[in-house]
Structure 1
Amino acid sequence: MATIDVIAAALPPYYGTALRSGSSGPDVAQLQTWLNGVRSRWPQLPSLTVDGRYGSATARAVAEFQTLTGLSVDGVAGANTWNMAYNQYAALHGAGEIYPGMVTRQGTRGAVVKSLQQKLNLLRQLYPAIQPISNDGIFGSGTAEALRRFQAQFGLSADAAMGPATYEKLRDVIVGIGSRQPVHVDPRYPGYVLQRGSSGDPVRFVQSYLSALGGSIPKLTIDGKFGAATQNAVSVFQAQHGLKVDGKVGPATWSALVDAFNATL
């Protein structure tokens, strides 16, 4: 039987709901990933398919892991098992959060989702086109919208789901903030001129970038609605940058605005 002396809180922290037979979702996949990752130490643990489904194989692996680490053996992953699985994985591979092992999307909930929400809320402080969301661990429409707005600004497929590429980009952008070397945005031009009456995420990006410039360019309400205030701010920006002053955002204004925003980071 092997244990470690100090059990640190897992990353992501335990959500508060025990995982058991019949559970499903990214938290189960996270647990499966950790358990697979400690088989080099305990090869008697069964190899698990990381599918986010807590079936009989996962229950057996959890019970065996509990036996090996001196935990109460019930095949259910509560707080102690969740934290122990993380700690044993971290002891072998290094501390820190890792990709859970499956795509996280709308309709799921748990620790992985809550961690995603916390990341998005942190990022919006520098990239305010991402709207604030609740850190409740429930992947609803608000979280999907915030994630899509993140993806669209960083060259990712805006599918509102956290797969490996999105997870890695989230990590990179957060590291950039922490190191005071923010990652530049790279939103794709929408393919049509934005003008008064336009709406949607591209308008939110324009409004957020304009609002960051300061000076004579007024801050705007970031609501994705291209009204008179946004039109005026675009005109002021165009006049300052030698662009045609028409209050519309075509390819040239879009590119200049993205460059100007990145220069503020």
Structure 2
Amino acid sequence: MSRGRLKPNDYKCIQDNFIFLKKELEARHLIDFLFQHGVISLEEKEHIGIKENKDARNDLLLTLILNAGPGDAFNYFLLSLEDRYRHVLTKLKGHSYSVQQQFHQEKNVLLEKLGHSHSLLQQFQQEKNVLLNKLDNLTSQLQISQGEVEKLEHEKDQVCDSCKQKIEKKKAKLCVMATRTATEKALALHSYADYQVTKLIVIGGFWEKDAGGITQMFDYVYQHGYAGAWSWDLMSNGDSQRAAIAHIKDYTHKGQISIVLQ
């Protein structure tokens, strides 16, 4: 019954020398000793002994030893060779030593690689930490920048609101040259209707025949709501303008128009 393989080095020693052992040994010389030390069972011993062919006996014994478990089976096998098979024992010990040396060399190589891998892992961890710190710093800077942007946006909105308020509060002083026809006067006023005009200065040389046109101009302005908060300064350069003023004085009592005669 198999108890598992020998230890790796012991297994390799027998496996590498299997043909040599099969040729040099005689299983019947070894089975009593191996049975006494529990390497093989009584049934296995008897099974080996009844085989008539040497190669068959050796083949079975070596197979049983290979699967005798990771205990002391290999050492007992070597002890069984001391009396009759010194040359075999010497070869196996030399091979075993060589295998052990090779194993230690491979072990050292692996340990060296492991140490190098560990060093690389530490280096990677350090670089990772550096990158994480940079990422944290960038994130903090980004948050600060976003805060500054929001602050600037807020300030911009405040400035825009302030500008809008100033623009709304800004008063335009509109100066229109008085023309000879009521239509021209009305068009001149209408072109400035989008402005918040607080004062209209009418300049020009009026003749008495223009009085009707000026009256129509005031009618147009008042009817279209342009005169809601205006004060009117009528620049007079003679008595002819006074006649025109007389025609529009009736607007003043409505609180919409004030006329300053200069």
Quickly name the TM-score band, shorter chain normalised: under 0.3
Larger Rg, first or second structure (1 or 2): 2
Higher helix share: 2
Report the TM-score, using the length of structure 2 for normalisation: 0.24
- Between Structure 1 and Structure 2, the one with more strand by share is 2
TM-score when normalising by structure 1: 0.24
